[in-house]
Every structure is written in C-alpha cells, then in structure tokens.
Structure 1
Amino acid sequence: MAAGIVDGTSNQSPDLSRFDTFPKLLALNARNHPDEVALRVKDLGIWHSLTWSGYLARVKAFALGLRRYGIGRGDVVGLIGDNRPDWVCGEIAAHALGAMSLGMYRDALDDEVAYLINHANAKAVFAEDEEQVDKLLGLGERVASVRLIVYSDPRGMRKHDDPRLISVTELIHHGDAMALEFPALWDELVASGRGEDVAVLCTTSGTTANPKLAMLPAGRVIRHCASYLRVDAKGPRDEYVSVLPLPWIMEQVYVLGKALLSRMTVNFVEEPETMMNDFREIGPTFVLFAPRVWEQIAADVRARIMDASPLKRRLYELGMRLGLEALDKGKRSWLADLLLFRALRDRLGFSRLRSAATGGAALGPDTFRFFMAMGVPLRQLYGQTETLGAYTIHTADEVDFDTVGKPFDAGVEVRIDNPDHNGVGEIVTRHPNMFVGYFGGEAAGSADLTDGWMRTGDAGYFDKRGHLVVIDRIKDIATTSRGDRFSPQYIENKLKFSPYVAEAVILGDQREHLAAMICIRFPIVSKFAEKNRISFTTYTDLASRPEVYELLKREVETVNKTLPEAQRIRKFLLLYKELDADDGELTRTRKVRRGVVAEKYGTIIDALYSDRSSIDVDTTIAFQDGTKQRIRTVLTVVDLAPGNTAPASPKRAA
C-alpha cells in the first residue's frame, strides 16, 4: 500500500489501473467520502468549503456545459487567473470530455497569451475576472480559435457584449440541463477516459525562448504522484495552501494529483497580498514554496527585526546564533526555540508543519539553513516539467543544504554523462512516467530524448552518499579569462539571502574577474532609508543614493568572505529598475534569462568592465498598463579591489 494514499473505508490504495484519470479519482472520493472537505477558499474575509460531493457536482456541471458548447475529445481548454476552485474544476471538467487543459500565468502579457492560445488552438478559456477577460477580448482576431470565454467574477462584466462570453453560473445552468436531458452522459464520459490520453499541456520554463507545451497523460501524473507519496506521505487530515501558480508543474502535482490520491484539503488564499495572513489562519501541515518565496519570507523576517527594540534584536541574534550552532552539530537548540523560534513559527503559520519543500530552482544554502534552524522541516526537490516535476528528494533524516537528495522511486534512473575529473557532468534521467513529447511535434531542444533518457541541461554530480548535487545550467557555468570556473547561480543565491537584495546577475564569463548587477529589494531598502532619514522619490532614485551603495557594499563584502578568492565579486552596481518577467528578463517562475539580460544591458556590462567609475543611463521603461517613463540617472561602479575607496556620490536620478 502506498503510504498516504487511502481508498475509501477499505484503507487500501486505489487501483491505479482503474482510477487512471482525474475525473475517475474525483468520482471515487465523492462516492466514498461525500462530506469531507476537499477545497477551501477565502472570499471577503470568510473561508468557504467545498466537499468532495460538491466538488464533483461542480466539475460535472462544468463538463456538461462545455459539451453543450461543442467542446470534446482532442480540444484544448485554456485557464488563466489566480489559484481558485473554479480553475481546478474547469481543468478536471476538460479532462472528463477528453480535452486537454492549458494553464497560463495570470500575469502573462498579451503576446504571451496569444502565442499559447494559437499554438494550442484553444477553443475555450476559463478567465477568472475582468482583468483576464479584458486581456482576451483585447486580443480580438489574434485568438480566433477561442469561441467560448467563461468568467467566475461578474464584477465589471456588464460593459461587455461579446457573444463568446458567459458566466460560470450560465455554464452550470447549461450543464444541469444537459444532465437532465442525458442522465447517463456524465458516467459515460468518465468511464471512457483513458490514463494514457494526454490531459495536461504544461508550459516549460522558457529560459531562452517561448515556452514549449509538454504533453502529460493523466495516468502518468497519477502514478508519479503515488511514487512521490510513498516518500512524502499525505492523508485526509493534511492541509495544503496553494500559492504557487497553477500552470507550474509542481502545483499541478500537489493540487490535482496528490490531492486526489491522498484526499488532503487544498486551500486557496483570498489575494496574493493576504497570503501570509491566510496561511497563518489555516496552519498548513505541509507547504511547497519556490525559492523566491522562501527568500522573501526570510528577508521580511530580518526586515521586521530591523524595526524591533534593541532587546528583541539581541534576543533574535542570540537565538539565531544558538540555532545555527546546534544545526551544524545535527541538533536543535531548546533555548533558541524558547527565545525565538517557537514564536517565529507561530507568526509565520509554520507551527503545524510536518513537511516543507522547495523546488523549481536552487535555494541558497544560507536561506536553507535559516529555516532549518527555525525548525521548519525543509527538503529540496529536483525535476523538470518533462519529468512531471520532482523525482529526487531528501529523506527526513538526510537533509543536506548542498544537494537535492536521492531519486524517490526505484523506477527513477539518474546518471551523469561526460563527467570531468571531479565527476561533474550533465544530469540525464528517465522514469516510466515522463511526458510523451511536445505539443505540435516541436523538437526537444535542450531536453534531448534518447532511448527515453532526457538530457536536463543541468550540470551536477553524485556525492559519496549518493545524493545528487546540482550546480547550475551547463550553458550558464562560466569560466574567467584566467581559467577559473564558477556558477553564477550559486553566488546569486548567496547574495539574495541579504534582505536588501531582490535579484542579482553575476557576470565574468571570459572576463578577468567577476562583477554583479544587483536589484535592491525596494520595500526593505526604503524602510532602511526612512529610518536613516534618507530622502528619495522612486526606485531609481533610491538605488542611486550613496548610503544605499554603502549598505549593499557591506552585503557584497560579507558574501565575498564566504567565497574562494577567484570567485569573489570585484565590481558591482545597482540597477535602475527591477528585473521583470514582463520585460522578458525573467521567466514566469523568476529564473534569469541571461541571454536577454546580456543583450539588453550590454552597454552597461561593457562599461562595468572598463575603468569608468560611473555610467550614464538615459532610457525609457514601459509599464504593464502601456505607459512609459524616461529614466535618466548615473550608475555608480563600486570597485572592491583592495585599496580602492568608496566612489563619490552619484548624480540624483531624474
């Protein structure tokens, strides 16, 4: 029996050869556990619950309503908006019809949405609210394949009269009418579903170009989730808060696959801004956050300590010191827990956590140690969209900040191709439940498939305990002109442990030394400025202040002390804007698109490696609402070579 997977009252795992689609598992849970809470969502400050029977009824109405509009086998149904029960219901409804679901990031720009819809030839789209509906309607004939747009939030919809537009209420009405007219249709649709049919089109990260659409059969997702649950068991008493974007493969795994198998309760926060408050109200038993979220939480904690009284700051510093010292010995400090960590876990909503994970990118070891010392049972995952998310994980008794653990199933094979003398080579993997190709027959590209083996494009090695160590993308591992190799991502993660650093880009490939372009974490640096009575107007102005440069100089020097001499940052500057996914500088999962950054900031990078102490910038930035702003400022170049003094105060930004 798979731990954490329960089939009804028999306490046996479901027969995955029979229950091989999401609609079949949903029907099973609704039949055996109709009154258990499956989903919970917060709206206007109140938590609303949806039982398994209510979940099934809504999916059934959605599916038959879509059928009324001609959606069927082989079609594609898009979904865009915040994480909500209607997204999940719409996705499973599409699968019940034999259609494929395509999740799109809520903050995707018009061109990105148009590309995905046209590439997939989507016939219907679930658009949560006015913002997403306006985006779709504004595309006009650019998304000619769309013949049905379903919205959940009616606010602001009266101004629209597009014939493709209907509310969820109308869709349910049509679905209920279909159920009365054809009472056996729903059961026939569910029974006809096949596990090997492609159910999910999942976007890849797209670090170098437009994302591809990995084709994922539901049966493979379910079997892979069953393997996952054997090493990270979940059950009906577990609570999960869904905060990562639903188009991401790992959120698909948790909210759909693992939730349907284990019957854990999935909770949806009211707004991204209320996430931590809602999180604390639920008190989840496990959590999955991307590294950027863990980094943000750590930065927020340290920022709040900046505002605390001297006594509280001393208690925090003592608690952290005792906690980290105990962690280094493989222990927990009861005194640190009493002084600091128990209250901190409660404040963050971590008091009930039995399992916590990070994945999607590397998490810096300093951030990892911070949470482990706090008592958060954090483990690192590793995987790709094409491998249905994670396939390695730490065991509870073998957590290592520098590794991603071991394969969690005997069927998962991982090898290192073309290793160098240190054993470092390309990570290559295969297992029985991988994707079946890219939609539209696109070439695999970096995810090269040979005899079922997938080339990940990542460099890594196995340590003496058999743990996989992931260094960086192979194409991103750089070498200075002096022959010293380094991983930009590793150094960037160390910098981002600072509460003042939001993003960093490490440079130095084929250059004499390393340099960094740093984006300040505006909310926290602005708080620093206010406390120190430093006047500023905008992000650009704040990032140009000499006091801020001096603050970041200390942070960079702190990181340099932890690095080998050849990998230390020699020069840095503070960018005049944040790196932004809307500008193509980051992926939607916040990974740096290095090629875009190198091209866009090429002039600044070249100047950074010259003898200049400042760089004049006169450019225009565009905002998501279409407005533009001219930026005129001077970027100060800080040289950290021994003997160099702090630069003169730069000109104020205009």
Structure 2
Amino acid sequence: MARKRNQKTTPDYADIGRFDTFPKLLAYNARTYPTEVVMREKDFGIWNAFTFADYQRKVRQYALGLRALGIQRGDCVGLLGANRPEWVWGEVAAHAIGATSLGIYKDVLGEEAAYLIQYAEITAIICEDEEQVDKLLELGDDIASVRVIVYCDPRGMRKYDDPRLISEEDLCARGDALDQAEPGLYEAEVEKGQGDDVTILCTTSGTTSKPKLAMLQSAPFLRHCLDYLHADPKCPGDDYVSVLPLPWIMEQVYVVGQQLIARNVVNFVEDEETTMADLREIGPTFVLLAPRVWESIAAEIRARMMDSTPFKRFMYDLGTKIGLKALEQKRRSWFADAILFRALRDRYGFSFLTSAATGGAAMGPETFKFFHAMGVPLKQIYGQTELSGAYTIHRSDDIDPETVGIAFDQAEVRIDRPDEQGVGEIVGRSQGMFLGYYRNEDATNADKRDGWMYTGDAGYIDKRTGHLVVIDRVKDLANTSTGVRFSPQYIENKLKFSPFIAEAVILGRDLPYLAAMICIRWSIVSKWAEQKNIAFTNYTNLSARPEVYALLRDEVERVNETLPEAQRIRKFLLLYKELDPDDGELTRTRKVRRGVIAERYAREIEAIYADRDAIDVDTTITFQDGSTARIQTQLRVETLLPPDDPTTRQAAE
C-alpha cells in the first residue's frame, strides 16, 4: 500500500478553546476538511477509507438514532467490541446527545461486564457482533438498565428476537428519519454540550480490586491531548495503527482526542492475527504499543533466528552487538543497519516511523535498547487514567532507557515524602485531571488532593537529567526477612526480555530470599521443543519437561548475573498455565494482580520456601467461553543457588 509520506513539519492544530467537545470539533473538521481521509478499516483484505464527511454523517445517524430510541442527556452508552470505526462513531455520538460513554474490554467475562453495566447504569450498548451480543443476553436480569443493544455485524443475528436488539443499519435509518422530522435537532444537541461536561467514564487498571470509573471532561481532555501533541507532534496525514484496546485511556487519546485535533489517519486492522501484516502494509508514522507487544516482537525476532541458517544467526549476533555498542556511544551504526536492522524495520512496518511509544506498564531496559539499536524511535510514556493518560515522555533528543522522560509543558510531577535516596511516591497533575471517581467520593478524596493525583507509584527524579524514574508500585516494593529491599517489577522485566519467558512473578516479601514463578512463552518454547525433537502434548505437559527447565535455568542464571548478589533468584518453578486476565491474575492491560497470585498459588509458594523439590497440583481453570478444565500435574522446584548462601547475608549486612 505505497503512498507518499507526509512531509509537513509544522502542525496545524484545531482551536480547542472554541470547539471544546468531540462533536463540536468533528463538525468543524467536517465543514473545513470534508474530503480528508481520517480512518481506514481493513475488511476482507481491502482497506476501506472514511473521510471527515463520512465520520460526521455516521455520528449524526448514530446520535439521532439513539435519541429516537429514547436515550437522553445524562444516560450512559456502553461500547463493547474490537477496535472499529463504529466504536469511535458510537462514542462521539453519545457525547453529541449529552450522554456519557463507557468502553468495555472485548474479552471481559460476563461477571465483569455485568458489574460495569450495573455500576454505570448503562442504558444502551453498541456491540461489534454476535459474540458480544451473546455475552450480554446471557446476563439476563443482571443488566436490567440496558434498554437498547445495537449490533454492528449482522452475521448470525437472525435467530435472535430480543426486543432490545437493533441492527446498526436500523439505528442509522431511525437517525435519518428523525433528522428529516426535526431538522436542526442534531446541531442544537451538539451546541448544548459544554467542555466541562463529564463525557467519558474510563475504567482504571484495577490491580487490587474491581476497576473504578474515572470521570473525564471533554475540554480538559482535549487540552491535555494538545499538550501531548506539543511534546510529540503529529501532522495531518500521519498514519497510526490502532492496536491497543479502545477502552484504555491512551487509545482514547490517540484514536479520538489527538485525531480530532491533529487530523491524522487512524487505521483499524482486520483481525488480531493479522495485526503485524496489516501494520507492515500501512507503514505507520507513529505507533503506540504496550510493553508486552514490544517484548513479543523482540522475542519473535530472536525465535526466528533459531530457525535460520548458521550464517544468518552469525550476522544477527554481529549486527546486534555492533548496534548496541554504537547505541552506548549515542550514535547509529550504518554497518549494523545495512546487515540487519534495515531489513527488520521493513519486515515489521517500522520503516517510516517518526515516533513510537510504549506505556501502561514498565518495560525492561534491554528491550528498549534493542529497538533503539534497530532504529525505532521508541519513547517511554507514563501517566494514569485519572490524568487523561500520559503526562511524561522522552523528548526526541533526550532518551534514557531507565526513565520515562520529563513532564509535558502543562503538567507537573513531584516526589512525595522522599527517602534518603530520593525515592518516594510519584504525585502528578495535568490539564486532563479527572473530576473524580464515579459514585466513589472516598476513593476520590484518597487519590486526588489539593489538585494533585497521588499515583501510588514509587520513583524519583534523576538529578542529572531531570527525568522521572518509576521503580514499582509503592505497595509492591518489598523487603526480604533478611532486610534486602527489592523491586519485583524490575527483576520481572529483566526476565521477560528472554524470548522463552512470557510472564514472571518475583516472590520474596518477608521471606528469606527471592524466588520466581515463571510462565513459558508457548509459541516460542513449543517451536524450540519441536526443533529438539522433544515430545509434548500441551502447555502443561511442555512446561514440566526437564529439557524446558534446563532451558529456563540458563535464562534465569543470565539475569542473575546482572543483579546484585542479594537480589538474585534462588529458586524458580514453571507454572502449569499462563497467567490470564480471565482468571483475575492480570488486569486487562496485563498488569500482575499480586494479591490474587499470592492467594491462588499459596501452595506453590509454600512449597518453594519449604525446601520441597516438587508439588502435586490438582486444580480447575476457566476458559474465556466459561468452560472449565481440570489440570493434574507435578511442578518441579528448581534450585539455582543455595537458599542459605552466605552472599545473601553479606549483601544484606
């Protein structure tokens, strides 16, 4: 899909002081730039383009259609499904008639969906397809507030007769009919909207409990998006590929807020499995990917090298070594680029990148350095849902893999109650400060004080660079029983740089030494096993193989060499399943819920510290469709260093 790249260097941003809501800003863009392409969606292998005129027409139809169905100002409209243009149209349409919007992750289980729908009192939900409709209909009376369920994909829907169901086509037809009956109604509703109206209810990550709903207002949100654009500019015509879930605050920033201000093009992939191929076709100008995605790409690259010829492996090792050495000297190696990195950038669609970002969780410095050596202009961002997403970022000429950069021009960061090393709680504020948590005044008062957001994250300001360094959650920083202080997240990120490790949980709080529970990366370890002619049947069986334990032992020992002696991993075991959001072990943004892990794997943790060599497991796991499976296996506890190694005591002293 070859196109001339955007050459504009001076962004021309919209006047968000005058157009202070999404619908007002969209109407201005549709009047001023009606033929400008702003969205593409791949469907059956074809990229379908949508202009600002198309965007405005659809939002108008959706808004008036919802109004015709009885949705009023002050109601809440839910959005459930994959990233699609219809998702965005539905959100802006809800705001146009004075309703709030709440995005729900497409892979939520029924219980999670019911909680959010009940809590926000959602009256209408716009769904992607039959799968999401089934999820809602199964909830029955648990979602009594829902009066309208709109489905966008009609395939498989003929068999349903629920009176709440309506097709997207019918919704648009009702909108057109109301538009003809009451000309000017849409414009009048849009003008009623004010910038200080609460328009977005956005779920927090919920690492310790059920997610809270942050109340965000249009004008502060748009001002914050503009502040972000000043720190990391985008121009009309720049391409962005929407990969991360739209309910996440940063995808709201990139796909909705920044797009309406900067008029860049948002591209929606055909399917999750085609993401990398579609990304290569687009060749985006900027991307935002979660750390786990960057880690997966790095792991895939190294896994492909396992399948290649000895000569290619030699060239990969040589190119990587030279590229990383050049990076240490703050330069790029033309030789490494020629023999390796240029081809890698082309393969993954990174050839035209002018900006790349990662956020939502910490990224290991090794992964960050690898992509910079490749020539990917990767920047770390940091923020919270409550502050409308990121408010710190690396500047293009000031990159540090150990930090998350500096605050935006209109944002501030400080450290509260720092210790002797300057480490304390990170406190921030931005123009996008949330109004409060929906129906939760106590939590609002606890987190938002005197105009500042108390993040619960531990960090410090690097005195040399002025950059913010994020260490871990304050509550997750821990000490062993011997007095060794450590950050679980820091060590976990080092482990996840390995292509064979998908997730890791570091143990050791109030215990004698550090240990790890590790999940293998199935796609790569299974390929490795096939190459080694190792027989296996499934994930559980493969993770228990002695050859896999030997492989992972090498990986953990490699990480141990980079850690202080007192913080080295003494023991580890390989879990019989992947950590999963559906089991409550991870949040929907893939953050570890340590409380759940400690409770669910209490027997495994006890076995590690009781000096047992193995533990029998007999448990049941739940799949996304609600079905269950029984797992019976034996977990082996691998000892790397003697638990009573004197270096532990010496380092602690």
- TM tier relative to shorter chain: over 0.9
Partners of 2:251 and 2:142 in 1: CA distance: 29
Partners of 2:323 and 2:538 in 1: CA distance: 38
What residue in structure 2 maps to residue 92 of structure 1? 92
What residue in structure 2 maps to residue 131 of structure 1? 131
**Residue deviations 1:564-600, cap 9 Å, x none?**
0011100000000110000000000000000000000
Displacement, 1:626?
2.9
**Residue deviations 1:118-144, cap 9 Å, x none?**
000000000100000000111111000
Partners of 1:560 and 1:185 in 2: CA distance: 66
Partners of 2:277 and 2:355 in 1: CA distance: 20
What does residue range 356-435 of structure 1 map to in structure 2 within 5 Å? 356-409=356-409, 411-435=410-434
So what's the TM-score if we normalise by structure 2? 0.96
Contact 2:392 2:407 in 1 (8 A): yes
Displacement, 1:643?
11
What residue in structure 1 maps to residue 437 of structure 2? 438
Contact 2:500 2:520 in 1 (8 A): yes
What does residue range 81-480 of structure 1 map to in structure 2 within 5 Å? 81-409=81-409, 411-444=410-443, 448-464=447-463, 465-480=465-480
Partners of 1:44 and 1:178 in 2: CA distance: 33
Displacement, 1:235?
1.1
Displacement, 1:446?
9.4
Contact 2:437 2:444 in 1 (8 A): no
Contact 1:35 1:53 in 2 (8 A): yes
Displacement, 1:629?
1.8
Distance 1:643 1:18, change over 3 A: closer
Structure 2 letter corresponding to 1:526: S
**Residue deviations 1:362-410, cap 9 Å, x none?**
111011011010000000000000010000001111100110011011x
Partners of 1:11 and 1:162 in 2: CA distance: 49
Contact 1:446 1:456 in 2 (8 A): no
Distance 1:406 1:446, change over 3 A: farther
Contact 2:79 2:127 in 1 (8 A): yes
Contact 1:356 1:377 in 2 (8 A): yes
Partners of 2:26 and 2:229 in 1: CA distance: 18
Partners of 1:391 and 1:17 in 2: CA distance: 20
Structure 2 letter corresponding to 1:23: P
What residue in structure 1 maps to residue 650 of structure 2? none
What does residue range 48-63 of structure 1 map to in structure 2 within 5 Å? 48-63=48-63
Q: Sequence identity of aligned pairs in percent?
A: 65
What SS does structure 2 have at the residue aligned with 1:48?
Answer: strand
**Residue deviations 1:283-307, cap 9 Å, x none?**
0000000111111111111111110
Contact 2:570 2:642 in 1 (8 A): no
Structure 2 letter corresponding to 1:241: V
What does residue range 515-534 of structure 1 map to in structure 2 within 5 Å? 515-534=515-534
What SS does structure 1 have at the residue aligned with 2:618?
Answer: strand
CA RMSD of aligned residues (A): 1.4
Contact 1:426 1:455 in 2 (8 A): yes
Contact 1:240 1:285 in 2 (8 A): yes
Displacement, 1:430?
1.8
What does residue range 445-594 of structure 1 map to in structure 2 within 5 Å? 448-464=447-463, 465-594=465-594
List, as ranges, runs of 4+ consecutive aligned residues in structure 1 with deviation greater than 4 Å.
none
**Residue deviations 1:100-156, cap 9 Å, x none?**
000000000000000000000000000100000000111111000000000110111
What SS does structure 2 have at the residue aligned with 1:350?
Answer: coil
So what's the TM-score if we normalise by structure 1? 0.96
Displacement, 1:161?
0.3
Contact 1:66 1:175 in 2 (8 A): yes
Distance 1:26 1:418, change over 3 A: same
Structure 1 unmatched runs, 5+:
1-5, 645-654
What SS does structure 2 have at the residue aligned with 1:245?
Answer: coil
Structure 2 unmatched runs, 5+:
1-5, 645-653
Q: How many residues align?
A: 635
Distance 1:57 1:513, change over 3 A: same
Worse-matched range after superposition: 156-165 or 427-436: 427-436
What SS does structure 2 have at the residue aligned with 1:372?
Answer: helix
